[in-house]
Structure 1
Amino acid sequence: MLNKVPEVTIWFWIIKILCTTVGESFADWINMNLGVGLVNTALIFTGALAAVLAWQLSAARYIPFLYWLTVVVVSVTGTLYTDILTDSQGVPLALSSAVFAGVLAVVFGLWYARERTLSVHSITTRPRELFYWLAVLVTFALGTATGDWTLELTGWTAGISVLLPLGLIVAITVGWRLGANAVLSFWLAYILTRPLGANLGDWFGSPGDGGLGLGTALTSVIFLVAILATVVYLTLSRSDVIEAEAEGEADGLTGTARAANPGRERGMLAYYAVVALAAGALLVWAHQQPHAAAGGEEDAAAPVTGQISPQEATSAFPPAEIAKFRAITADTLAKVNAGDQRAATSRVKDLETAWDDDQSTLEPKSEKAWSSLDGEIDQVLKALRAPHPDKAGEVSALNTLLSSLG
């Protein structure tokens, strides 16, 4: 059959990152705003993936719209699988990263043992196409796990966290230009586009920590429009259609054909090892710096809970006001326990609004008490508005605030 995947051009990488970003933000929007829940969202997208992948497999040739629709759905589904392991099952991100890396190695091993090539310019048989999409799915799950693990280790904001995968992709591009194995370079960069796109989505959508605050819905729309515009261009120009398998290895970062140089490729493996060690050293250094934990947990260097007793925190303020905050907090907790994330996120907005409205009257009564409660409310807001809300973390933050409110 004809090659069913696009040529690796600059357009390939642009639209791949766009698809990754919209997959991340769209999944968060459904999970958080529609109140469907993480597991139900995963089930919905698993069904959607089966339908879209069947459509893609039945096509007789490469169709840009169909191919990139499949990538978007795979992006969402792979992300959700990792989130379920982390948020619902409590699997450490380090473990899930290692497991997905092992699974990907097995997929590549079986693919190469059967087909003797991992070239994206040779997806011309059904087994190769199936191996290709299985590898793509696992790379999204692996990219999600390693990206989230990086944020957990470093406490970086979404804007800063974009720089690491971007820098690594640049380093891989340099390595490929200097003669590194083209297939290896392609798949390394492919994995890294997942954390890069996801961090871009969080940066666009997040309201705090330097984010642009556009929200997941608007971010999804912006990137979907960009994807559609790019797909229309590729459909009309056919600039990414592989007419025939090129001689040499044309599977690099821009699809440029060249003859393989085994000696240089082996030498560039050392370069990639140095890049990996440098990235690991950077993560270790960042982990050792004081920073806020992932998911909006409190700063380890400056904890806010336990600074003063509940009696001190509430005695200086009017009982009616404290009762109002306590009622909203209890209501939010009930919605979290019921699994209604959308309603809980909406309700906690009432807490934020009420607290901000009363700041001018409460803070002068006791700055110490106000600061203590303000810190705990901030932890509640961060927990419920995290890109991937953790129910246990939300419940803990809400119960801590309830305790302080008496």
Structure 2
Amino acid sequence: MNKSLAQDGSISANKVPEATALFWIIKMMSTTVGETAADYLNVNLHFGLTGTSIFIGSLLAIVLFLQVRSARYIPSLYWISVVLISVFGTLVTDNLSDNFDVPLGITTAAFSLALIATFVEWYSKEKTLSITAINSFRRECFYWLAILFTFALGTAAGDLVAEGLSIGYASAALLFGGCIAITALAYYVLKINAITCFWISYILTRPLGASCGDLLSQPTSAGGFGIGAVTTSALFLVTIVGLVFYLSITQKRIKIS
């Protein structure tokens, strides 16, 4: 388990997992679940945007409280937090667009500015934006606030591209996947700053996951595969649970050894 120096000089456990291949796979799937689960609660269960937002927001508040209170990184707790915040971030954008008629261009710009402001304040207080040292209450608060804005921004930007360009779900997935590939190339080949590349990729995986979720769940008449929101959400949730269980077992083995 990663450890680093806290501000008081003591050794403190990092509360965030390392950005490995499994991290990105689970993260992308969580964004897909966020997209399909929000639609399922809103439309299929007739919660409505307001009811869905209150329900998910309440769950998120409870889980984030437990996450912040925990003294170490717990894979199941961390990834439940990510899944819930992905749903809530989607709902924030959907509420602004559908309930308040805020144009996607404005929400994209607003969340971009909010994310930048979070990064500026985070850096001014902590002198780093690295996820390898999320080992204090203040750093973790900055981290989760930034995560929320990345999901809201990714939703707004993804919807803006999908609606503005009308390129379809498959093309949108290829577009955002290509942008992530370019970011990876910039990091590995051009040696662009790792922190910058991480946060760019984190933002881009949101519209990528949403595009993949829509591609699988939407009917064939709309350009999807017609699997449905329920089946898509269940498929990705089962995969996420399996991978998180693997990470939990692996972590325990590392601690024992």
TM-score (ref. length: structure 2): 0.92
- Quote the residue 1:211 is aligned against: 224
Out of 235, 250, 254, the position equivalent to 1:222 is 235
Aligned-partner SS, 2:222: coil
User: Which whole-Å CA distance do the structure 2 matches of 1:33 and 1:152 have between them?
Assistant: 23
Preserved CA contact (<8 Å) 1:81 1:141:
yes
User: How many angstroms apart in 2 are the aligned matches of 1:190 and 1:47?
Assistant: 24
Unaligned runs of 5+ in 1: 242-406
Q: Give a deviation string over 1:285-333, Cα, whole Å, max 9, x none.
A: xxxxxxxxxxxxxxxxxxxxxxxxxxxxxxxxxxxxxxxxxxxxxxxxx
Instruction: Write 1 or 2 for the structure with the bigger share of helix.
Output: 2
User: How far apart are residue 150 of structure 1 and its match?
Assistant: 0.2
- Max Rg structure: 1
Shift of residue 113 of structure 1?
A: 0.1
Aligned residue for 1:194? 206
Runs of 4+ aligned residues of structure 1 deviating over 2 Å after TM superposition are none
Equivalent position of 1:115 in the other structure = 126
Q: Which residue identity lines up with residue 127 of structure 2 in the other structure?
A: R
Q: Give CA deviations for 1:9-31 in whole Å, capped at 9, x if unaligned.
A: 01110000011101110110010
What is the aligned counterpart of 2:46 among 35, 50, 60? 35
Deviation at 1:209, TM superposition (A): 3.0
Tell me how far 1:238 sits from its aligned partner.
2.6
Name stretches of at least 5 consecutive residues in structure 2 with no aligned partner.
1-11
Q: One-letter code of the match for 1:195? A: P
Give the aligned CA root-mean-square deviation in angstroms: 1.3
Alpha-carbon distance, 1:39 to partner: 1.2
Give runs of aligned pairs for residues 259-270 of structure 1, distance below 5 A.
none
Correspondence for 2:167 = 156
Partner of 1:46: 57
What is the CA–CA distance in structure 1 between the aligned matches of 2:73 and 2:59, rounded to whole Å? 20
Letter in 2 for 1:137: L
Figure out how many residues of one structure are paired with residues of the other and give that number.
Answer: 241
Aligned partner letter, 2:99? S
- Out of 132, 138, 146, the position equivalent to 1:127 is 138
Shift of 1:162: 0.5
Higher RCO (CA 8 Å, separation ≥ 6 residues): 2
The alignment status of 1:144 with 2:161, answered yes or no, reads: no
Among 182, 185, 208, the alignment partner of 1:171 is: 182
Partner of 1:104: 115
Residue equivalent to 2:9: none
Query: Counterpart of 2:18?
Result: 7
- 1:158 Cα shift? 1.2
1:23 matched to 2:37? The reply is no
Q: CA deviation at 1:236?
A: 1.4
How many Å separate the matches in 2 of 1:238 and 1:10? 16
Q: Secondary structure of 1:162's match?
A: helix
The reply to whether residue 234 of structure 1 matches residue 247 of structure 2 is: yes
Deviation per CA, 1:71-93, whole angstroms, max 9, x where unpaired? 00000001000000001111000
In structure 2, distance between residues paired with 1:168 and 1:186: 13
Q: TM-score, normalised by structure 1?
A: 0.58
CA distance in 1, matches of 2:197, 2:55: 33
Query: What amino acid sits opposite 1:220 in the alignment?
Result: S
Residues 158 and 209 in structure 1, CA contact (< 8 A), matched pair in contact too: no
Matched residues in 1 for 2:187 and 2:246: separation? 27
1:87 to 94, 98, 102: 98
Amino acid at match of 2:62: A
CA distance in structure 2 between the aligned counterparts of 1:230 and 1:94, rounded to whole angstroms: 36
Using the alignment, how far apart are the partners of 2:168 and 2:206 within structure 1?
Answer: 17
Instruction: After TM superposition, give the deviation of residue 48 of structure 1 in Å.
Output: 0.9
Match of 1:180, as an amino acid? I
CA distance in structure 1 between the aligned counterparts of 2:244 and 2:60, rounded to whole angstroms: 20
Paired letter, 1:197:
G
Give deviations 1:24-59, integer Å, cap 9, x for gaps.
101100100011101111111111110010010111
* Percentage of pairs with the same residue: 47
Q: Which amino acid aligns with 1:185?
A: C
Q: Is the 8 A contact 1:45 1:73 kept in 2?
A: yes
| Code of the aligned partner of 2:207 | P
SS in 2 for 1:156: coil
Per the TM alignment, residue 161 of structure 1 is displaced from its structure 2 partner at its CA by 1.0
Counterpart CA distance in 2 for 1:164 and 1:157 is 10
Q: Give the whole-Å Cα distance in 2 for the aligned partners of 1:106 and 1:184.
A: 15
Partner of 1:78: 89
The match for 2:194 among 159, 182, 188 is 182
